[in-house]
Amino acid sequence: MCRAARERGPVSRRGLGNAPQQPGMSFEASPVRLGGRVTGELETLWALRGLDERLVLLGASIARYPEQRRAIEAGLGGERARTETLKRQIADLQLKHRQLEKDIETLLAEERKYQGQLPLIKKNEEYTALLHEIAGVRTRRSDRETELLLLMEQEQQFQRERPEAERALAVVEAEAAGRLQRLGLEDQSERRQAEALDAERAKLMEALPAATRTRYERIRASRDGRAVVPILKGACGGCFRGQPPQVLQAARRADRVLSCDGCGRLLVWPPEAASA
């Protein structure tokens, strides 16, 4: 599965990747003459609308980077955990292996001790009892040896799996490092673009009358960064509420700043519609 294919590329200042545009909505940031009839105030608002649209899309793209990083790090953490689990299993088996070997040696020494006592015993019942002890020790030793053989088979299986697990982890770590680096570069690039757009927006704001500037900033803060919208098919381009005929006529004249009664956004007749 190609992880890189799911990652977002950097958003360019010119087109913001392949982001779709609504009909009649331009991303040009420079002032546009709306049929030669618009005031400088409306020209500035239209230019701000273009900048704001790009800033909104950039902000959405930047906001996704932390989650993308967490997803990469979670995948890397899972692969590391699987490898570490395998290593712990091998270590546990090796510890148990050594303990079983000690147990077998202890039982073997006990059996030899009993074997050495047999020639010294004169009574039949004592001889029989000692043979019974020897048989019990042999049974326990045989059980430990069987357990050790099974454990060694499991240990060998895990040891065969370990190199492949470590190679897989190395691949995942390299891929994750590359993806995190790319995300970091894209994040930095888009933040620089956003800073440049903010600086451009600040310059345009200086051209607005104080009252309009305050109104614009208030709407922008309450409407997710979109304070100015075009009129599209007789409706507000923000909330899509149909506008009264008198508002549409005033928008066509482009002689004053209008707002939508539904969402409060500032309305501008699109330049291409004004010049049609």
Tokens 């381009």 — which residue?
A: 237
Evaluate if residue 132 carries a pLDDT over 80.
yes
Average of per-residue pLDDT across 237-247: 95
First vs last C-alpha separation in the chain? 49
Interval 32-89: pLDDT, tens: 344 444 478 999 999 999 999 999 999 999 999 999 999 999 999 999 999 999 999 9
For residue 255, the model assigns a pLDDT of 85
For residue 274, the model assigns a pLDDT of 53
Average of per-residue pLDDT across 99-106: 97
Q: What percent of the chain has pLDDT over 90?
A: 80
- AA letter at 92: D
pTM over cut 0.85: no
Q: How far apart are CA 40 and CA 17, in angstroms?
A: 30
**pLDDT grade for 27, boundaries at 50, 70 and 90:** very low
Distances (CA, A) of 27 to 22, 121, 246, 270: 10, 107, 28, 12
Average per-residue pLDDT in the chain? 86
Specify the higher pLDDT residue, 218 or 272.
Answer: 218
**pLDDT grade for 25, boundaries at 50, 70 and 90:** very low
For residue 271, the model assigns a pLDDT of 81
Phi, psi of 231 (to 5 degrees): -90, 120
